[in-house]
Amino acid sequence: MQNETPNELGSESEEKPEPKASTENKLAIPMAIVVAGAMIAGAIYFSSIGTTSNDLSQEKISEEKLENLRPISKRDHIRGDLKAPVKIIEYSDTECPFCKTFHTTMKRIYDEYGKSGEVAWIYRHSPLYRPNSLGQSLHSKALKEAEAQECAYEQGGNEKFWEYTDRMYEITPSNNRLDMNELPKIAEFVGLDVNQFNTCLNSGKYKDYVDSDLENAYDTGGGATPWNIIITKDGKKYPLMGGQPYESMKQIVEFGLK
C-alpha cells in the first residue's frame, strides 16, 4: 500500500511489503453484525465507518493472515484482565490523528467494559515512519515516540506506559507536529526519572522491539492505523481497520461477548 494522506476510512496508511486488493461494500455496523452472525463459522472483515467485505476470497486471505498474530504475552501492554472474553489488540501510531481519536474511544470502552473484566485492551506499535517509494515518510517522529513509550515502560511497567501513552495522545497535535522536546516533559509529568528516561531514549534500545510490533501488524494484514484485531469469546479473530466511533465499537464488543 502506498504512503498516503488520511483517507475516508478513518485510517492512515504506509507502504506495505505485500499490498493486497480488496472489494468492500459500505454497510452500517448493525448490518455488519448481522453478517457476522450469519457467517460465524467463517472470517468477517470489519473496516472503518461500518464497512465490511463480502468478498469470500478476501475473507479467506484475511483469516489466514490473522493466524500470524503474535500471541499475547506479559510483555505486551495490557489494560484489563487477559481472562476477559473479548480482547482488542490495537496497532497504533502516536502521530496518527485517527489513532488520537480512537484512543479516547478505547478509554471509554475500557471504562465501560474493561473494569468489569469483559474487555482487555492490548496496545502495540505501528509507527508509519518508513519512507515510501517516493522517499516520503508520513510520520517520521512516530518511531521515537514509540521508543519513548517503551522507556516509560522500562521505568514503571505497564502503569507508567499507559500514563505516558495517555498523556502523549492528549497533547500531540498529530500529523508529525509534536515537538520532540515534549517527550522528557511527558516523562516528568507522569513521575519518571527524566535523566534515566533520556538515557534510555537516546540509546535507541527499543527500536527493534517497536519494529517487531510493526512487522506483526503487516503480517496480520495491517499497514494503516489504527489497525485492530478483535478476539471474541469463542476465540475467533476479526480484523478492524480505522478509527471507529464509540457507538460502533460498543456494538462490536457486544457482538464479541455473544
Taking only the tens place, the pLDDT of each residue in 16-36 is 544 443 334 333 444 444 334
* Cis bond before residue 184 (omega within 30° of 0): no
Q: Is 26 helix (H, G, I), strand (E, B) or coil?
A: strand
* Of 167, 149, 145, nearest in space to 158 by CA: 149
Tell the burial category of 10 from Cβ atoms under 10 Å away from its Cβ (0-12, 13-18, 19+): buried
- Mean per-residue pLDDT for 175-190? 98
- Mean per-residue pLDDT for 212-232? 95
Q: What is the pLDDT of residue 134?
A: 74
Q: 126: which strand partners? A: none
Q: 121: which strand partners? A: 79, 88
- Indicate the pLDDT class of residue 59, thresholds 50, 70 and 90: low
The three grid cell numbers given for residue 115, joined into one nine-digit string: 473494569
Strands of the chain, DSSP E: 12-13, 25-26, 46-47, 51-52, 77-79, 86-92, 119-125, 224-225, 227-231, 237-241
| Torsional sign, CA 55, 57, 63, 65 | negative
- Mean per-residue pLDDT for 78-103? 97
Q: What is the pLDDT of residue 63?
A: 82
Q: What is the pLDDT of residue 75?
A: 95
Q: What is the pLDDT of residue 9?
A: 52
Q: 25: which strand partners? A: 52
Q: 224: which strand partners? A: 13
Q: What is the pLDDT of residue 83?
A: 95
Contacts of residue 157, defined as CB under 8 A and 6 or more positions apart, other chains included, come to none
Q: Is the pTM of this model over 0.85?
A: no
CATH architecture designation of domain 22-257: 3-Layer(aba) Sandwich (3.40)
The three grid cell numbers given for residue 35, joined into one nine-digit string: 453478517
